[in-house]
Amino acid sequence: MCRTLLNAGYSVIGTGRRSERLAQLQQEYGKHFFPLTFDISDRHAAENALKTLPPQWQAIDLLVNNAGLALGLESADKVNLDDWNKMIDTNVKGLVTMTRLVLPQMVARNQGHIINFGSIAGTYPYPGGNVYGGTKAFVKQFSLNLRADLAGTNIRVSNVEPGLCGGTEFSNVRFKGDNVRAEKLYENVQYVTPQDIANIVLWLNQQPEHVNINRIEVMPTAQTFAPLNVARN
Ligand code: 8X3
């Protein structure tokens, strides 16, 4: 997403925990890229990081809240409670923290766009989706509620809800380093790619200011719906 926006002429603040990845982008894009290393689940780290932004980087027109993770696919009675907390800390608390920190200057300038990352898991339940799907349902409703609060402003809010998206570390993280299991998920299927999603983010933001896409649900053509489960005696 950073590269797609940079190639389209945007100046980008890239955030993440791994400074070496951000340094790589800075090397490639020079003064158009500003690296900001922090863990989004640490509220004070996020507050402090944003305070270090030089004045010319403080007017943020587009906030892309894509940081998030799924951990495990165990059923709710067996799940690791730390995993649930980590998903809530990142997907919910991290996302609302960033939104609350960036939104005031958007409101002051009456300009801006927040693009949140939900998931199809926020709409369609699946076994083991439990808290992950719950966090993404939160993101969906939070995005819509932001629009209600921002009535009368020019600030846009969109929720991107991807389905099976390969070519990221999503499943390696979900399966805690079981890379064979992670790779299997993407075998013999044309999944949605990070570039597909980046193109959608750019397209959402490039709509005219009077056009707000509230939600956009994206699946690979190869992914559709399973029948509802009926447990029989
Ligand atoms: C990513 C899609 O199906 O793994 O949020 O929940 S899924």
Distance between CA atoms of residues 165 and 170, nearest Å = 8
pLDDT digits (tens, 9 = 90+) for 191-209: 999 999 999 999 999 999 9
**Ligand 1, from 65, 123, 170: best to mutate by most atoms within 8 Å of Cβ?**
170
Average pLDDT over residues 35-49: 98
**Ligand 1, from 116, 120, 224: best to mutate by most atoms within 8 Å of Cβ?**
120
Average pLDDT over residues 23-31: 97
Average pLDDT over residues 14-20: 97
For residue 214, how far is its CA from the centre of ligand 1 (angstroms)? 19
> Which pLDDT does position 190 carry in this prediction?
98
For residue 129, how far is its CA from the centre of ligand 1 (angstroms)? 8
> Which pLDDT does position 60 carry in this prediction?
98
pLDDT digits (tens, 9 = 90+) for 73-121: 999 999 999 999 999 999 999 999 999 999 999 999 999 999 999 999 9
Nearest CA to ligand 1 atom 4: 164
Kindly report the average pLDDT of the chain as a whole number.
98
Active-site choice (124, 132, 186, 191): 132
Q: Is 29 one of the catalytic residues?
A: no
Strand order in the sheet with 215-218: 62-65, 112-117, 155-162, 215-218
pTM (2 decimals)? 0.97
What ipTM, to 2 d.p.? 0.91
Nearest CA to ligand 1 atom 2: 163
For residue 136, how far is its CA from the centre of ligand 1 (angstroms)? 10
pLDDT digits (tens, 9 = 90+) for 44-53: 999 999 999 9
> Which pLDDT does position 3 carry in this prediction?
98
**Ligand 1, from 71, 91, 119, 173: best to mutate by most atoms within 8 Å of Cβ?**
119
> Which pLDDT does position 160 carry in this prediction?
98
Distance between CA atoms of residues 79 and 38, nearest Å = 28
Ligand 1 atom at minimum distance from 119 CA: 5
Distance between CA atoms of residues 36 and 45, nearest Å = 11
What's phi and psi for 212, nearest 5 deg? Answer: -115, 120
pLDDT digits (tens, 9 = 90+) for 124-158: 999 999 999 999 999 999 999 999 999 999 999 99
For residue 117, how far is its CA from the centre of ligand 1 (angstroms)? 11
> Which pLDDT does position 91 carry in this prediction?
98
Ligand 1 atom at minimum distance from 171 CA: 4
> Which pLDDT does position 218 carry in this prediction?
98
Residue 42: which pLDDT band, with cuts at 50, 70 and 90? Answer: very high
Distance between CA atoms of residues 15 and 164, nearest Å = 24
Average pLDDT over residues 13-27: 97
> Which pLDDT does position 2 carry in this prediction?
98
Distance between CA atoms of residues 100 and 132, nearest Å = 22
> Which pLDDT does position 39 carry in this prediction?
97
Residues with CB under 6 A from ligand 1: 119-121, 162-164
